[in-house]
Amino acid sequence: MMRKRTKLIHGGIVGDVLTGAVSTPIYQTSTYKQESVGVHKGYEYSRTKNPTRFALEELMKELEEGEAGFAFSSGMAAITAIMMLFKPGDHLIFTDDVYGGTYRVMKRVLNRFHIASSFVDTTSLREIERVVTNQTKAIYLETPTNPLLKVTGIKEVTAFAKENNLLTIVDNTFLTPYFQQPLLLGADIVVHSATKYLGGHSDVVAGIVVAASKELAEQLHFIQNSTGGVLGPQDSWLLQRGIRTLGVRMNAHEENTKAIVHFLESHPKVKKVYYPGISTHPQHHLAKQQASGFGGMVSFEVESESLVDKIMQSVRYFVLAESLGAVESLISVPSKMTHASIPFERRQELGITDTLIRISVGIEDSRDLIEDLEQALS
Ligand SMILES: *Cc1c(COP(=O)(O)O)cnc(C)c1O
């Protein structure tokens, strides 16, 4: 059996049998010649199947240890395709501080098709039990969450879901299969915004779905081909190129994050640090159990809004931008950026205050990153 870091390099479909090219060719084609009617080499039309995309889908299938992988034109296209498994009257339960775009598509698009959604603190099984109805069909988890890094017990939730005939879907964007494999913990479907760590270089927007069972894989392929939000061959190639270095990048992100968390925790102007790797984090032990790393995302609370503004203006290496998971460090103010569409009261309830700063720690030299934060905080 291939170990993870070997699988990142040798997994999926590597190279090209025709020429011996080591890198998967970019098959920039929409259609394929048939020898006679219906006789072809497995490819008919690129919405249905494209060799470059298929190589990526096979790689992701192997990394998440599922039955089949599917590549979409964005994380939101991937999430929306999953929602096409459901029908009017169905109800789903979501992690409360789920990605803003997921909240929006459920509340403002899919609600028109009468697919209902509840958002609860999934770190507590009791909260999930409280909102389950006869119409509930699935539980959708994001763990750790954005921006507060709350951790939900995947095993505990999937056990409950199985007892109640519900599907479990996990957004694995933050940890990637390098650190966390939800299908091995009982989940049915994993989804990624591959725009983030999988791509890793802030140069491609993409989404990935991996299904655990043949039945779900068949349904998802049918939906992918029917609705058509597929990833193009160029972007499929870029994503594979990114994934080959996922292991070294994730290790570097985490090592830098540990150093930065240590610095932030001892800084007098930092009131609170959110990171699952800290021993006082409420789900620290759970995070350690179900994942092999804590990741590269950290949020922290500073003493005033004016300090937030000052930090944003004076950082040199941290790029003020939305998104996350790339080689360069990014900094953002969730309440005014990624989470601005959430009403003020709701943000307060969740703890997304105006003095909360989120950073996506890159793979620069951590000494430069710490010096940068130090000068910005002083
Ligand atoms: C960015 C993100 C998404 C949406 O993905 P896009 O590629 O931007 O469409 C979904 N979930 C999480 C956790 C994300 O960070």
Is residue 196 among the annotated active site residues?
A: yes
State pLDDT tens for residues 304-315: 999 999 999 999
- Evaluate if residue 357 carries a pLDDT over 90: yes
d(CA 275, CA 256): 13
* CA-wise closest residue to 209 among 326, 53, 99: 53
Reported as a pLDDT band with limits 50, 70 and 90, residue 148 is: very high
Cβ-contact 209, 56 below 8 angstroms: no
Cβ-contact 93, 132 below 8 angstroms: yes
Distance 22 CA to ligand 1 centre (A): 31
- Strands 319-320 and 136-142, bridge-based pairing: unpaired
Is residue 171 among the annotated active site residues?
A: yes
d(CA 212, CA 162): 14
Burial state string for 95-105 with b = 16 or more CB within 10 A and e = fewer than 16: bbbbbbbbbeb
Is residue 358 among the annotated active site residues?
A: no
The helix (run of H) or strand (run of E) holding residue 298 is strand 297-302
Which of 79, 99, 145, 324 for mutating ligand 1's site (highest number of atoms within 8 Å of CB)?
99
pLDDT of residue 1: 82
Distance 198 CA to ligand 1 centre (A): 12
pLDDT of residue 164: 98
Query: 325 in ligand 1 pocket by Cβ < 6 Å?
Result: no
Query: 24 in ligand 1 pocket by Cβ < 6 Å?
Result: no
DSSP bridge pairs for 300: 273, 357
d(CA 48, CA 71): 11
Is residue 4 among the annotated active site residues?
A: no
pLDDT of residue 203: 97
Query: 171 in ligand 1 pocket by Cβ < 6 Å?
Result: yes
Q: Residues of the chain with pLDDT > 90: what percent?
A: 93
pLDDT of residue 15: 87
Distance 75 CA to ligand 1 centre (A): 5
pLDDT of residue 17: 86
- Evaluate if residue 121 carries a pLDDT over 80: yes
Non-local CB neighbours of 12 within 8 Å, separated by 6+ positions: 55, 56, 57, 58, 59, 60, 61, 62, 240
Non-local CB neighbours of 198 within 8 Å, separated by 6+ positions: 176, 192, 206, 208, 239, 242, 243, 246, 325
Sorted by where each begins, the domain ranges of the chain are: 247-377
Cβ-contact 245, 80 below 8 angstroms: no
State pLDDT tens for residues 230-251: 999 999 999 999 999 999 999 9
String of DSSP letters for 57-122: HHHHHHHHT-SEEEEESSHHHHHHHHHTT--TT-EEEEETT--HHHHHIIIIIGGGGT-EEEEE-T
To 10 degrees, what angle do helices 51-64 and 233-243 make?
Answer: 30
Average pLDDT over residues 288-311: 97
Which of 72, 74, 76, 80 for mutating ligand 1's site (highest number of atoms within 8 Å of CB)?
76
d(CA 279, CA 285): 8
Look up the CATH number of domain 247-377: 3.90.1150.10
Q: Dihedral, CA atoms, 329, 330, 331, 334, nearest 10 degrees?
A: -140
pLDDT of residue 340: 84
Which of 152, 196, 231 for mutating ligand 1's site (highest number of atoms within 8 Å of CB)?
196
Average pLDDT over residues 278-307: 97
Task: Single out the catalytic residue among 196, 244, 249, 358.
Answer: 196
pLDDT of residue 156: 98
d(CA 367, CA 349): 35
The helix (run of H) or strand (run of E) holding residue 170 is strand 167-171
Task: Single out the catalytic residue among 53, 61, 96, 99.
Answer: 99
